[in-house]
Amino acid sequence: MTKNILVLAGDGIGPEVTNEAVRVLKWFNENKNTDFRFSEANLGGIAYDLEGDPFPQTTIDAARKADAILLGAVGGPKWESLDISVRPEKGLLGIRKELGLFANLRPAMVFEELAEASSLKKEIVSGLDIMIVRELTGGIYFGEPKGVDTLPDGSRKGYNTLVYHDWEVQRIARVAFDLASKRGKKLCSVDKANVLVSTEMWREEVAKIQAAEYPDIELSNMYVDNASMQLVRDPKQFDVIVTTNMFGDILSDCAAMLTGSLGMLPSASLGDANSDVCSALYEPVHGSAPDIAGQNKANPIATILSASMMLRYSFDLGKEADILEKAIANVLASGVRTGDIMQEGATLVGTKEMGDAIIAQLDKLVGGKSQAA
């Protein structure tokens, strides 16, 4: 089965980390019966520089017809002074909205070998495996009205609006309940229902879906301030968390850090699987890290794990994803590290060498024949 993967390498370390993930996917072409074809387009700062728009029409067209998208990262100081309407982040928000990618899956799992790298005590994070499901195309990120007005007295008023429709809450709740049913059967919905009426409605709608469709999943509700505290106090109490766009943005960074390194965490942004445009984008949770860009220092594992999520969720290749995750675990167990996860006594390697090590482990695991170039 031929699958067309659009690579949006983006800015900063994006090209380096996506390059390693593509090499790993090519390994599957050479050693397993996959037929992944790759094409590239511009998104973010690079797209602004080359095409005058962080999300140009050429990229929209290519994205719509892909089977899946692999994204690196967007943004950097070079574009920070641009008007907000053409900043790199606009490209990212644009592609989420354009393709209807409403469900953002951000797993936070601790690789045993890295449990020491967490800023929390090892026993708090060891064995951690939680999934944050963030609503991605609604809420305060996209709500209207928004703007900055100058009032008659000359003062300025800035505002954004936290809007949710019941159907937006229902569809993200279903994604989260479905995930919970394949995992620990526990879902925690995070809101600020004590203050924000739109999230009080969120809470009610999630409860309705649970009662009608998922009676066997244990549902709890938590205010976001408490959830942030619980995440650092006792993260293993959670299985799946579902929350709004902005709360998910914040909590997923917090959850990421529990694992010791942002360089390890993948994500999937999914839309309606029956849509006639591409509805799956995979990207590392980390950003473009301009300070280390172009130096072969970035950790490609988050992007390679994102490719693994692609295998699992877009192409139904769960076994292949398992092999890839095993290869990564073996590499970590062998003491090979990029700078962000470096530990005493380990071997420090660069981005490419980390890719090489993972491919070598894949060869070892399946008796593979190649070193994908």
Q: Which is nearer to ligand IPM, 89 or 200 (CB)?
A: 89
Number of Cβ within 10 Å of residue 152's Cβ equals 5
Least distance between ligand IPM and beta carbon 139 (Å): 11
Q: Does 249 bind Mg ion (CB under 5 A)?
A: yes
Contacting range for Mg ion; rule: CB under 5 A; set: 26-34, 72-80, 244-252, 352-360: 244-252
Residue 89 interacts with, from Mg ion, ligand IPM, none (CB under 5-8 Å by kind): ligand IPM
DSSP summary character for residue 83: -
| Sequence-ordered alpha helix ranges (H) in the chain | 14-31, 45-51, 57-65, 88-98, 122-125, 166-182, 197-213, 224-233, 245-258, 301-313, 318-333, 351-366
Which backbone phi and psi does 287 adopt, to 5 degrees?
-95, -155
How far is Cα 346 from Cα 360, in angstroms, rounded to an integer? 18
Nearest-angstrom CA–CA distance, 105 and 175: 9
253 included as an active-site residue:
yes
Token pair of 181, please?
A: 């049913």
Pick from Mg ion, ligand IPM, none: which does 92 bind, CB < 5 to 8 A by kind? ligand IPM
> Which one from 141, 164, 214, 282 is the annotated catalytic residue?
141
DSSP state of 184: T
Q: How far apart, in whole angstroms, are the C-alpha atoms of residue 93 and residue 111?
A: 30
340 in catalytic set:
no
Give whichever of 71 and 362 is closer to ligand IPM, judged by the CB atom: 71
Q: Which two tokens stand for residue 202?
A: 């969120």
Q: Compute the least distance from the CB of residue 89 to ligand IPM, in Å.
A: 4
Closest separation in Å from C-beta 8 to ligand IPM: 14
Q: Judge contact between 209 and 176, C-beta under 8 A.
A: no
As a whole number of angstroms, the distance between CA 183 and CA 110 comes to 16
- Which letter, b or e, does each residue of 6-30 get, where b requires 16 or more Cβ atoms within 10 Å of its Cβ? bbbbbbbbbbbbbbbbbbbbbbbee
With contacts defined by CB under 6 A, name the span among 53-61, 88-96, 219-227, 348-356 that binds ligand IPM. 88-96
Q: Is 292 among the residues that bind ligand IPM (CB under 6 A)?
A: no
Determine phi and psi for 372, rounding to 5 degrees.
-55, 125
- Is 192 an annotated catalytic residue? yes
Sites for ligand IPM among residues 91-110 (CB under 6 A):
92-93
Residue number, nearest CB to ligand IPM: 89
Q: Residue count at the site for Mg ion (CB under 5 A)?
A: 1
How many residues in total does the chain contain?
373
Catalytic site residue from 35, 61, 225, 291: 225
For the bound state, the minimum distance from the C-beta of residue 249 to Mg ion, rounded and expressed in Å, comes to 4
Q: Is 89 in the site for ligand IPM (CB under 6 A)?
A: yes
Calpha distance 73→336 (Å, rounded): 24
Check if 276 is active-site.
no
Task: Give the strand pairing for 2-10 and 240-243.
Answer: unpaired
**Distance between CA atoms of 249 and 236, rounded to whole angstroms?**
20
Could you give the string, one character per residue 190-209, with x where binding to Mg ion holds by CB under 5 A and - elsewhere?
--------------------
Q: Which range binds ligand IPM by CB under 6 A, 55-63, 89-97, 156-164, 363-371?
A: 89-97
Q: Residue 196 binds which entry of ligand IPM, Mg ion, none, with Cβ cut-offs from 5 to 8 Å by kind? A: none
Minimum distance between the CB of residue 319 and ligand IPM, rounded to whole angstroms?
Answer: 29
Q: Which amino acid is at 298?
A: A
Q: Which stretches of the chain bind ligand IPM, using CB under 6 A?
A: 89, 92-93, 249
Catalytically active residues, by annotation: 141, 192, 225, 249, 253
Q: Which stretches of the chain bind Mg ion, using CB under 5 A?
A: 249
